Structure 1
Amino acid sequence: MPETTSRTEPRLLIKNATVLTMDPALGDLTPGDILIVGDRISAIGTDLSDPRATEIDARGMIAIPGLIDTHMHAWQTPLKGLHASGWTFDDYQSRVFYLREHFGAEDIYDATLAGSVQMLDAGVTGVLDFCHNVMSPEHAEAGVRAHRTTGQRTLWAYGMLGSFDAPPEDHAWRLEHIRSLHEETADDELLRVGMALSSIEFGSMDRISKEVGLARELGMRMSVHQNPAGQIRALHDAGLLDEDIVPAHANAADDGELELLAACGGGISFTPEGEFGGGRSMTVLNRAYRAGASPSLGIDTHARVAIDLFATMRLTFLLMRNVDASAEREAGRYPLARRPGTPMVDPRQMLEFATVNAARAIGLGDDLGTLAPGRLADVVLVNTEPYGMALGDPAAHIVLQTNPSDVDTVIVGGVVRKRGGRMTDLDRTEAGAAVRRVRERVFADARAAQGADG
């Protein structure tokens, strides 16, 4: 492809990687090179050269598109472990969610910064941060400021859900403030403001209709928790369902709802570690994939599991295989044998969920999710040494053999954020200190409140 970019832009040349482009037209390159000029990929091929570029020797590494988490509550990063043995919604409410009332704006900043640093460190270049802890305009501004500080590519979803007993004016200021915050961030290349819709079970459809109407007026992407059955159909019946709303979880959705979602080009963000650990049905993974409702993946909350999308991809693959195997056994087809469509997925589809599908979910499907000329240069290099790459499909190495410690290099918009296993411009130690500051302030405030209540 002829190069038309300016000579003054920063240039990077990744050499000799196993390149998983995730683009069917380009396929895999073994080995391959990636030339980045400015914030975009200029060329992909073999034996590329550019004397003006900074060169990265990627022998023994696999290059993949930056991973994208489509459902993360970054504000809960300091609450790591609180929901480890959680089982019910009441467990979540009593151990984790009640603490949002004790988070100040500075806590949102520190928590979000810590979560964002951990995500970048683990190869997660992009995130839909579903912030359902916007208790004031200052809380929202702090969350946005934290992501701007770290430089992670972010769709920051402004939480419309206030306190459960909040007066009507609470909703009014949210709608007003999200409009102004959207305008303030309109020119930001890495951060966009989206909307975390009110949970349907806690808010009226009239309220949600106002939220969706404003989001579409402003061109904002949306996400919503889908927990009880029938909520996707309720959005459809209200004339609100479209591809710009990303339901999270949706384990209770029936096949008809999944077909409605697929018909509008939509998808679901699955958080399998939390959903499976919380006792939810996992058949929806297979049913959604079969229906054509594009699956993407998220961590959900660090209060339960690690910030590790490799583990999420791995569990998703195993769960989908298990659902297939269970259906075969129940139909009397055991020992297992391969037949058309069974098993449904291979490891490569899991990487597709966390890149191609995830980019589409956050509204950047034309710019992210694959490694191809003209695409935004969000690239991760995974080191397979010293033990070597797995045999067979290199995508299977990513999904089944990789963990965050294997992430050697992280590039966001052409800027190297991690190299040689070390963050280049962010401090892991400071992220840990931010976690400790939040814990000290939040738990002290919670204890004081409990003491005041007797």
Structure 2
Amino acid sequence: MTLNRNESNDSVGQTSFNVDQEPDVAASRRQFLKTAAVGATVAAAAGPLMPFGANAQPSGEQGSDGILSRLQGSETDRNRRILLKGGIVLSMDRSVGDFMNADVLIEGKTIRAVGPNLSAPDAIVVDATNTIVMPGFVNTHHHQFQTNTRGYFADAFYFTSGRRPDYRRAFMPGGIHEKYTPEDAYIGQLVGGLTNISAGVTTVCDTSQVSITRKHTDACIDAFKESGHRTVFVFTSGPGNAASMADYAFPQDIHRIKSQYFSSEDQLMTLGLGAFPPDVKAVFPLAREIKMPIYVHVTGAARSAVVEELGILADCTIIHAMDLPESAWRQIVDNGAKVSMSSVTEPTVANGIPAIMEVMKYGIMERASFSTDAEAFMTADFFSQMRGAFMLQRLLAVQLSDNGQRDVPRPITCREVLEMSTMGGAVGANLAHKVGSLTPGKEADVIMLRVDMINVWPITNVPGAIVTLMDTSNVDTVFIAGKVRKWRGRLVNVDMVKLLRSLETSRDQLFARAGWRVEPFGTCCER
């Protein structure tokens, strides 16, 4: 017995099967894709798959392009209302709940309501059929300026047993990071920010490390404004011999930066201070004096001891947090500090094993988050970060069990990974009061992930589909503070050709100044 696929205009892309006929099996299978293509044409004319609702966007002024024009044309209207209609809503707030078919109402830059069948007659209606509507991802540690050298250090190890230090040579004295001009910093930050938006990341903590001069710092901030991204600018020490340069102003320039760019809390940009172990004794007291959150890179017992002496408190987000002693974890747990894990980059460059098991052991998953580190050696794609953490935790648990250890941590779930990617990130960025969930009253940082695609359909488990199946191609639409930044798969108001040419030019000039060669088919590293 075979199943025959029957379609009509009335089905709107739905498939029905007739079991009463016995046609030739091979012929039926050979014809499937051909008939499906015809059906797809009919479905495209009538609307999307719509298994959970029927909210097809009309054509003309109310079609996709018309809706985008209305969204962009009304951005300055604080009372403008947007209704995301008929999506699979994953709120990441248990008090709000999740829905297989519901709406999200945005007013100005704020989420006003979440639930089924919301009424908003004056709203711009955005068809959310066949998408998962959820809060944007939060990336708590990204050196965005390194976008200019994307992929160069793909083969690099951070530590190389006495051989050339590979990636570290980039930021050591004489390295390529010293060669950045303010223009290089600007284009790297801009493309890095737009890359995050395109991947569904609506908030980034930019640990820049390129504040060589005040002009470099200002260029970074200009790029944040231009991208429309929600950014925590983590003012951090410059690379190599930057401290010897005439206009180097870390950390004292924090006062100018704060008064000039961050005098208001009602904006997309917020400010923090970054610290590495050589800087911590200067940074920690200053940050606490001016009530500034601290983002500090810490790995190993020796570095941890310096930070522990100053106090790992609630104002600290500990980046990496690998190989920390029990004493450090006790301060993190007891004092409410946060942890940022680079689940893919840390093992890739042999920096260490991400602290996912410790985070679960000490019960601080609600204060743990993921981060992408640097595109010089790994993608900023957050789906990769989530999958990396998901797989690594399970692998480590199996190894512990195989080695005979008792009380092995349970396997992490896809929802827990998503919680760390959204609310956990918001906590780590000190923005949980603004973003991280679709909670009414929070700002509307919302992403829409397409599910009517070959890589995820049918949707059997929503968190599982996002963590184990999706990639950046599923990121359909992105709103940040209620403003559309990506629409139906494309960044808005971005001259992509100009942008990419500018990035390539910057890359070429940087390599020339550093005396490095681009190796399209070679390797950065000694074998």
| TM-score, normalised with respect to structure 2 | 0.77
Q: Does 1 or 2 have the higher relative contact order (CA < 8 Å, sep 6+)?
A: 1
Q: 2:490 aligns with which of 422, 427, 430?
A: 422
Residue 411 (str. 1) matches residue 479 (str. 2): yes
Q: Which string of whole-angstrom CA distances, capped at 9 and with x for unpartnered residues, describes residues 80-123 of structure 1?
A: 11110111341112256621111011110011001111111111
SS of the equivalent of 2:300 reads coil
Q: Deviations over 1:207-256 (max 9, x none)?
A: 52332222223332221111332433432223x32122212112111333
Distance in 1 separating the partners of 2:203 and 2:138:
4
Distance across 2 between alignment mates of 1:151 and 1:258: 36
Deviation at 1:180, TM superposition (A): 0.8
Alignment of 1:194-209 (within 5 A): 194-197=272-275, 199-200=276-277, 203=278, 208-209=280-281
Which of 140, 148, 168 is residue 93 of structure 1 equivalent to?
168
Amino acid at match of 2:298: Q
Give the structure 1 partner of residue 201 of structure 2.
124
CA distance in 1, matches of 2:247, 2:404: 53
Query: What is the letter of the counterpart of residue 416 of structure 2?
Result: Q
Q: How much is the aligned-residue C-alpha RMSD, in angstroms?
A: 2.3
- Name the CA shift for 1:236/1:112 in 2 (closer, same or farther; >3 Å): same
Aligned to 1:399: 467
Which of 376, 379, 387 is matched with 1:303 structurally? 376
Q: Is the 1:20–1:63 Cα contact (8 Å) retained in structure 2?
A: yes
Deviation at 1:167, TM superposition (A): 4.8
Query: Are residues 224 and 47 of structure 1, via their aligned partners in 2, closer, same or farther at CA, if it must alter by over 3 Å?
Result: same
| Distance of aligned partners of 1:356 and 1:95 in 2 relative to their CA distance in 1, 3 Å threshold | same
- Given that residues 35 and 44 in structure 1 are in contact (C-alpha distance below 8 angstroms), is that contact kept between their aligned partners in structure 2? yes
Aligned residues: 430
1:152 is displaced (CA, Å) by: 0.2
Return the letter of the residue paired with 1:193.
L
Matches within 5 A, 1:274-289: 274-282=345-353, 284-289=355-360
Report Cα offsets for 1:333-355 as digits up to 9, x if no partner.
8xxxxxx9742410111111111
* Counterpart position of 2:410: 343
Q: Separation in 1 of the partners of 2:168 and 2:353? A: 22
Match of 1:336 in 2: none
1:195-344 correspondence runs (5 A):
195-197=273-275, 199-200=276-277, 203=278, 208-238=280-310, 240-282=311-353, 284-293=355-364, 294-331=367-404, 342-344=409-411
Given that 2:315 and 2:337 are in contact with CA atoms closer than 8 Å, whether structure 1 keeps it comes out as yes
Is 2:506 the partner of 1:438? Answer: yes
**CA 110–167 in structure 1, closer or farther in 2 if over 3 Å, else same:** closer
The answer as to whether partners of 1:230 and 1:253 remain within 8 angstroms in 2 is: no
1:179 to 255, 271, 274: 255
Return closer, same or farther for 1:167/1:8 CA change in 2, 3 Å cut-off. Answer: closer
Give me the whole-angstrom Cα distance separating, in 1, the residues matched to 2:344 and 2:461: 24
2:444 alignment partner in structure 1: 377
Tell me how far 1:265 sits from its aligned partner.
0.9
Cα 1:409–1:142 change in 2 (3 A) is: same
**C-alpha distance in structure 2 between counterparts of 1:55 and 1:216, whole Å:** 45
Matched AA of 1:268: V
Greater C-alpha radius of gyration: 2
Q: Deviations over 1:169-190 (max 9, x none)?
A: 877x323321111111222600
**2:212–2:243 Cα contact (<8 Å) kept:** no
How many percent of aligned residue pairs carry the same amino acid? 27
Question: In 2 relative to 1, CA 167–106 (structure 1 residues): closer, same or farther, beyond 3 Å?
Answer: closer
Shift of 1:448: 9.5
Q: CA 1:422–1:391 in 2, change beyond 3 Å: closer, same or farther?
A: closer
Q: Give the unaligned 5+ runs of structure 2.
A: 1-75, 160-164, 518-527
Select between 400-409 and 384-393 the one with higher mean Cα deviation: 384-393
TM-score (norm 1): 0.89
Query: How much does 1:413 deviate?
Result: 0.0
Distance 2:246 2:314 in 1: 30
Give the Cα–Cα distance (whole angstroms) in 2 for the partners of residues 326 and 62 of structure 1: 35
Per-residue CA distance 1:270-328 (angstroms, 9 max, x = gap): 11211111234426211122213422111101011112001100110000111111111
CA contact (8 A) 2:143 2:208 kept: yes
**Any conservation in 1 of the 2:87–2:102 contact (CA below 8 Å)?**
yes
Instruction: Select which of 119, 138, 156 maps to 1:68.
Output: 138
Q: Distance in 2 between matches of 1:228 and 1:99?
A: 27
Deviations 1:35-87 (A, max 9, x none): 00011100011001212111111111101111111010000001111110111
Q: Pick from 96, 105, 113: which aligns with 1:35?
A: 105
Structure-2 separation of matches of 1:233 and 1:397 = 41
1:115 maps to a residue whose letter is G
Call closer, same or farther: CA 1:102–1:344 in 2, change over 3 Å: same
